[in-house]
Each structure stands twice: as structure tokens, then as C-alpha cells.
Structure 1
Amino acid sequence: MPLAKFETMLKRTMGLDVQSIGRPMLERALHERRDKSGVDDLDAYWLLLQMSEQEQLHLIESVIVPETWFFRNREAFNEMAQLQPQRPISAGQPLRILSLPCSTGEEPYSIAMALLDIGMPPQHFRIDAIDISAQSLAVARQAVYGKNSFRGNSLAFRDHYFALNEQGYALSETVRQQVRFIQSNLFAPTLLYGEAPYDIVFCRNLLIYFDRTTQHQAVTILTQRLAPEGLLFVGPAESALMMQHALTPIKAPMAFAFRQGAPKQEPVKPAAAPIAAFAPQPPAPLRPAPRAAAARAAPSRIRPAAELPVLPQTTLATVQLLADQGQLSEAASLCEQLIQRHGPSAAAYYLMGVIHDAADRKQAAADCYRKALYLEPAHAGAMTHLAALLQTQGDTAGARLLQQRARRSAENNPS
């Protein structure tokens, strides 16, 4: 039986682009749910889906593979705790935070622990956590976790906020009471109806499962829920998409954070600071060009007329600024010239990959990420971005290997 109708249903109900998980995974989920439902074939299962909203939720849970742990990408939580909100915070006007999707609860609970750690009174913040999966929310509400939820070497928080029992590590009530769990999804018409805007929104590693049109719809919904000057945290592979909306990147490496509001239009300056969304790791300095003085004396001999003018002081920071302003073609041309004139570097190829990613040139982006990893095998940004691309292309095994490699690299080189 053709899978198109099932794909359409999943896209309508949860925004899922089946290409992001691969059709084999969908087929496995359909046959698993068909067998558990006791129907004879997929035609009968399709009829069951039309009559049972509960079965639709079961199918959705079968195609969701939650992968989360406490303080995943710790830089985001550190930055969130340090950035001051743009309005007074008090018990009467608490900091409002949204975690969507929240999966089994590790992310919203990490947010709560990070704020408690800096001394913020519990009555001064409130976290709403949303997920489509009732099964994941049941785990989150129980708040008892196994060893897989604790990764890396920085686990002092586990001793402070958890107690070990027969079932696992039970989270303290102090943290649990800060989070309200809600079953819904980003595209539900009644999502957070009547709720005030949020000062901080975490929506990480969800947009990679949507097609480009749905991604933009999702970002629009998120920004509508975000307070003026509010903060939005996304996943590493989603940062380039934010550049196409009225959001300003926060200069914080590896946080992938954006503030509500379009960037201020300023003249491009060659010595501009790197933009965090395009440089999770500071770019490596470019090697001086041979005969730099001669090049400055006779620029016409090194610059074809069709190319952009390249100043001797040009660095990757200029390319990043152009990309941040949405001038992707200009940024790509300038980045290519830098590589030709100064030689290859992991930072340059990584940035070129992010630019191609933002322009929806997936194969070109993947090629650049691979070149960056060839030059710098431990480049975290290239690994996470390439893993996301492989996932969207159905190469789940390759994506998983890169994710594991990036995790090992982070554990061996903690910030």
C-alpha cells in the first residue's frame, strides 16, 4: 500500500517530513502499530486511524525517537542563566520560559536547575513544558531517570538535586514544582491559548524534522509566542534558518541563541566581531597571503571583474556579517575567495557549509562540512551540522555515528 496518505497525515498532525526520519522507519512503525492493533493489513489500519485519535497518538509516538539528556549542549543553559531579561522579574511577574518539545523532561528540568544554581528564587520563574507524546510526559512527570540521562563529566548537579533509589535517580521536589507539563504540539490551533508571551523559548532539534515551508511556519509560531526582546534557543543545525526571520543572534559560542527583533542595519565593517550563530567555534586565523604587499599594490591582478571586491583586511568575520544580514550569495563568493587566496581552513569550510545550508543547498553544505572535518576532525560545529543533514537524507546510522563522535569530543574537551 502506498505510504503517501500516512505521510500526509503525519505532516498535518505534527509537521513531520518523513524524509527526515526515512521511509523504512515509517514502514516499521506502521507494521508495529498494525500488529498491536489487531487489524489485518495497512488498509484496515488506515481506517482505524481515521476513527481513533488515540491510535494517531500511538503512531506518532512510534515514529518519535527521543534523544535527550540533562544539560545537553550546556552552553545554552549557561547563557540562558547569565542573560538578564529585558523587564523586571519578581514573584508577581515571574520569568516565563517555554520548552517545546520537552520529551521526557530533561531539558525543562535542566533549565530549572540552572536558574536555581544562580540563586534565582523559585517564585521568580515558571517553566511550561510541552510535548506531543503522552508516554514521554508520563516519564517527565515521574521524574526518575536512568544513567543514560546523565552524560559527560560535569555531574555535580546529580548529587545536589537527585536521590538514588531502586528505580533510578529521583529528582527533588524543589526542581519538579517549577515545571508544568502540557500535552500538545507546535501546530495545535489551541496551543497555549490565553497564555502571556514567554521571555525565553527553548525549541531545539525539532525544526530539522520539517520541510523548509513547515520550518518557516514553525519559526513564525515561535516568534509569536516570544515576548519583545525575548530569547529563542535552537539546535546547532537550525541556527542558519533563524537568519531569515526577525531575530538577532547572541554572540555566545555554541549557545545557538537569538533575540526577538531584526538585527540593526549597520555598515559592513571588515573587523566586525564573529556572529555566534555562524561560528560555534572561533574561526582559526587565516594564513597571510604570499606577497601580500605586492597584492595590495596591484589588486587588479588578483581580482576578476565578476567577483566582489576583496580588501586585504577581509576575514571570516566579514563573511559572517554578510550571511547574518541575509546576503548569502555575497557571503559565499567572499568566503570562496578567502579560501582561494589564503588556503583552506576548517573555519572557512565550516562557514561555507552553513551558508549553503541556509540557502538550502544541502549537498554543497555536506561537502563543506566534510572538508572542515578533514582539516579539523574534532570540529564540533561541522559534526553536528553534518549529522543533521545525514538525518534528513535518511542516513540515520551515519548521523548517529557523528552524534556519538561529537559527544565524545565534547566530553574529552569540556568547555
Structure 2
Amino acid sequence: MPLEKFEAMLKRTMGLDVQSIGRPMLERAVHERRDKSGLDDLDAYWLLLQMSEQEQLHLIESVIVPETWFFRNREAFNEMVQLLPQRLVSASLPLRILSLPCSTGEEPYSIAMALLDIGMPPQHFRIDAIDISPQSLAIARQAAYGKNSFRGDFLAFRDHYFALNEQGYALSETVRQQVCFIQGNLFAPGLLYGEAPYDIIFCRNLLIYFDRATQHQAVTILTQRLAPEGLLFVGPAESALMMQHALTPIKAPMAFAFRQGAPRQDAAKPAPAAVFAPQPPARPAPRSAAIRTAPSKARSAADSPPLPQATLAQVQLLADQGKLDEAASLCEQLIQRHGASAAAYYLMGLIHDAGDRKQAAADCYRKALYLEPAHAGAMTHLAALLQTQGDAAGARLLQQRARRSAENNPP
């Protein structure tokens, strides 16, 4: 049985563009779920999918590979607390914040820790965290994490808010009670029906899984849920898309933040500590992990798996010889075998570019930026593609980011 029906179902139910994950991953997920369901063929499994919403969710969870950790892309949390005094001028307490998709909870809990660290009283903010995966939400509600959820050099928050036990690092109840987890689909008509708009929305690294039309639909839904002049944080590879909507970029390198509404002059940012008077902690509190300055390199080496350089060189050699299809196939095998990496996706993008497969090239450059936000090569080539597609504003934004990346990370 061909996989087109399964592709169409995933597109209909969750907006997934199968090209974003690759058909081999879809094929593997479908066969794994068929085997776990105890069925002999894909026709029988297809019938099961039509009858079981639970099995649809299992298949969705099989094709979604959550990759998250606490204070991922730290600059977004920095900017959130810096902009908070301006946001409170037009917001009514409690401050309403949305994290979607929230995956296994690291992002919404990071938001809560960042706000608590600047002295915001718990009763002054509420975080709704939404994800399509019941399995991810179960992990989030349990709030016990392994070492992979703590990356980078700034981990003082772990000592302050977590206790190590037999299950891992257990999050304190003070943080847990600030987050309400909800199982839901961004495209479900009744999602958040009747809820007041949100002052801040984090929707990072979701849009890269959609085709262009679905991306614009998703951004429209998000802006409808955003309060006037509310703040929207997106992923590194998604910022160019925001320029095509009524959103104004905030001048904060690597934060990928946008404001609802037309451009206006930003007032000077007051220090967050002047807004709330923190209560003296029972023990000395470490400086907030959210407001530390990250090292000059945007990502540590531990953030992505090691690459077999000899294999990459072989891919490059095939491409240089004009064997683009062979090079693309080998590069895809590399990603499947060793995991996603910015270097591999960037090389795949160059191969598609050379083969005049512009949309596939753009998708690969976006994935490279998802894994390495400061990848200047991916930014430059994606900007060139956007320029040819008539998206001058998006191209200009990426070019500016590429220049900043080169200045901040000299060779």
C-alpha cells in the first residue's frame, strides 16, 4: 500500500509536511506502529487509523522527535525578562503566557524559572503549555529530567530548582504549579476557545514542519491568540516568515522576538529588578540562568551529535563531481544513521540548490538554522533564495543576522 494516504492524514490532522522529516522516517514509523498493533499489512493498519484517534496520536508521536532542553536559545528568555516592564504597562495581571508546542516541559518551566528569578510573584503570571503528544505531556507533568535536559555551561538553576533522586532531577513544586499542561492541536477549531489573549507566546521550531500555506495558517492562528502589542517568540529558522505578517521584529540578536502590531519606537528598557521586589530566599539564590550572557559561540559542541567527517567529505566529493542525486542520497543516509546535524543539513541544502530544487534547499537551510542558529552559511544561502522568491524583507533580516554572526564569531 502506498504511503500517500498516511502523508495526507498527517497533513490533515497536524499540518505535517512529510518533506520536513523525510519519507524514510514516515515509512519506518508506519511500519513500526503496524507491527506494534499486531497487524499483518498496511491496509489493516490504515483501517485501524480511521477508527482509532488514540492510534493516530501514537503515529504522530512516532514521527515527532522532540529535541529540547532547559533555557534553549537563552537569548529569548533574556529578552522576555528585559521586555517585561513594557509588557506590563498594557497587560492585566496575571500575565498570560503560552508555550506551544511545549514538548516534555523544558520550555514552559524555563519561562517560569526566569520570571521567578527576577522576583515576579507566582500569582502574577500563568503559563499554559500545549502539545499534541500525550506521551510528552506525561513526562512534562512528572517533571523529572535526565542529564540531556541540561546543556551548556550555565546550570546554576538546576541546583536552585531541582533535587536529584532515583528518577532524575525532580523540579520543585514552586515552578511546577505555575504551568498548566493541555493536550491539543494548534489547528483544532476549539483550541483555547473562550480564553483571553496571551501577552507572550512561545512557538519555537514548530513551523519548520509545515509547508508554506500551513505555516501562514499557523501564524494567523497564533496572532489571533496574541494580545495587542503582545510578544511572539519563534525559532531561528522561522523569523523570516514573520515578516510577511503584521508583526514587528524586536531588535534583540538571537532572540527571534516579534511584537504584535505596526512598528513603533522602543523605549529604553528598564531593569527588570526595578519592577518587582524579590522576597529574600531561604538560601542564597544563584544568578538567574535566563539573564546570564552566553559565550560567544551560539551552541556548545554537546548540543549536536558528532559528525563522521570522512563521510561528509565523501558527500562533498560526489557533489563536486556532479553526482547530485548520489550525494543527496548519501547525505540523507548520514542523517538517518547519525542523527540531525547542522553541517549535514547545510550540505544537503547546497546539493538541492545546485540541482535547482529551491524549496528543498530552503527547507534544509532552515533545519540547519534550527540546529545551529548562528550558521552564517545557511543564513546567507537562505537569504539568497528568499530574495529570488520576492521576499525582500525576509532576505534582508537574514543578511543582517549573518553579518552579526560573522562579527560575533570571527574566524
TM tier, smaller:
0.5 to 0.7
Q: Does 1:382 align with 2:382?
A: no
Match of 1:268? none
Partner residue in 2 for 1:73: 73
Give the equivalent residue in structure 2 for 1:208. 208
- For 2:19 and 2:364, the matched residues in 1 are separated by 20
Change over 3 Å in CA distance of 1:384–1:136 after alignment to 2: farther
The one-letter amino acid of 2:66's match is P
Relative to the length of structure 2, the TM-score reads 0.66
1:178 is matched by which residue type in structure 2? Answer: Q
Cα drift, residue 381 of structure 1? 3.9
Q: Which position in structure 2 is the counterpart of 1:186? A: 186
Q: 1:386 to 1:19 in 2, by over 3 A?
A: farther
**Greater gyration radius:** 1
Who is 2:252 aligned against? 252
Query: C-alpha distance in 2, partners of 1:144/1:232?
Result: 28
The 3 A distance-change label for structure 1 pair 379 and 258 is: closer
What's the counterpart of residue 279 of structure 2?
Answer: none
* AA aligned opposite 1:109: Y
CA distance in 2, matches of 1:366, 1:57: 25
1:203-254 deviation line (CA, Å, top 9, x unaligned): 0000000000000000000000000000000000000000000000000000
CA distance in 1, matches of 2:147, 2:45: 37
Other structure's SS at 2:129 match: strand
Distance of aligned partners of 1:71 and 1:86 in 2 relative to their CA distance in 1, 3 Å threshold: closer
Contact 2:254–2:373 (CA<8 Å) still a contact in 1?
no
In the other structure, the counterpart of 2:41 is 41
Q: Is the 8 A contact 1:236 1:381 kept in 2?
A: no
Distance 1:115 1:367, change over 3 A: closer
Identify the residue that residue 141 of structure 2 maps to in structure 1. Answer: 141
Mapped to 1, the partners of 2:187 and 2:74 lie a distance apart of 28
Q: 1:387 & 1:201 partners in 2: Cα distance?
A: 29
Relative distance call for 1:60 and 1:80 in structure 2 (3 A) is: same
The equivalent residue for 2:239 is 239
Q: Are 2:365 and 2:381, in contact at CA under 8 Å, matched by a contact in 1?
A: no
Q: Residues 117-160 of structure 1, C-alpha deviation per residue, up to 9 Å, x if partnerless?
A: 11111110000000000000000000000000000000000000
**Aligned position for 1:309:** none
- Following superposition, the deviation at residue 388 of structure 1 comes to 10
Q: 1:20 to 1:385 in 2, by over 3 A?
A: farther
Pair 89,366 (structure 1): closer, same or farther in 2 beyond 3 Å: closer
Aligned length: 293
Q: Which aligned pairs between 1:134-173 and structure 2 lie closer than 5 A?
A: 134-173=134-173
Q: 1:118 to 1:130 in 2, by over 3 A?
A: same
Once the two structures are TM-superposed, the CA of residue 40 in structure 1 deviates from its matched residue by 1.1
Q: Distance in 2 between matches of 1:134 and 1:193?
A: 20
Which position in structure 1 is the counterpart of 2:102?
102
The CA deviation at 1:383 is 6.5
Give, as a single letter, the amino acid of the residue that structure 2 aligns with 1:382.
A
- Distance in 2 (CA, whole Å) between partners of 1:157 and 1:22 is 37
Asked whether the equivalents of residues 236 and 373 of structure 2 are also in contact (C-alpha less than 8 Å), the reply is no
**Paired residues for 1:10-409 under 5 Å:** 10-84=10-84, 85-88=86-89, 93-263=93-263, 361-362=358-359, 380-382=374-376
CA distance 1:99–1:24, shift in 2 (3 Å): same
Alignment-mate amino acid for residue 40 of structure 1: D
SS in 2 for 1:154: coil
Separation (CA, whole Å) in 2 of partners of 1:83 and 1:246? 19
Amino acid at match of 1:172: S
The amino acid of 1:380's aligned partner reads A
Contact 1:202 1:233 in 2 (8 A): yes
CA contact (8 A) 2:365 2:379 kept: no
Unaligned runs of 5+ in 2: 266-295, 297-349, 384-404
| Structure 1 position 382, deviation (Å) | 2.8
Give the 4+ runs in structure 1 shifted more than 4 A: 87-90, 360-369, 383-389
Once residues 135 and 367 of structure 1 are traced to their aligned partners in structure 2, the CA distance between those partners, rounded to angstroms, is 28
Cα–Cα, structure 1 residues 386 and 174, in superposed 2: closer, same or farther, change >3 Å?
A: farther
Residue identity opposite 2:240 in structure 1: A
The answer to which of 138-147 and 379-388 deviates more is: 379-388
Q: Deviations over 1:59-96 (max 9, x none)?
A: 00100100000000000001011103444589x72110
**Offset, 1:39:** 1.1
Counterpart secondary structure, 1:380: coil
Q: Which runs of 5+ in 1 are unaligned?
A: 266-280, 282-352, 390-408
Q: CA–CA distance in 1 between the matches of 2:108 and 2:22?
A: 29
User: Distance in 1 between the 2:46 and 2:363 partners?
Assistant: 37
Mapped to 2, the partners of 1:3 and 1:363 lie a distance apart of 20
CA contact (8 A) 1:131 1:184 kept: yes
The SS at the match of 1:109 is: helix
> Are the equivalent residues in 2 in contact too, given 1:89–1:95 (CA < 8 A)?
no
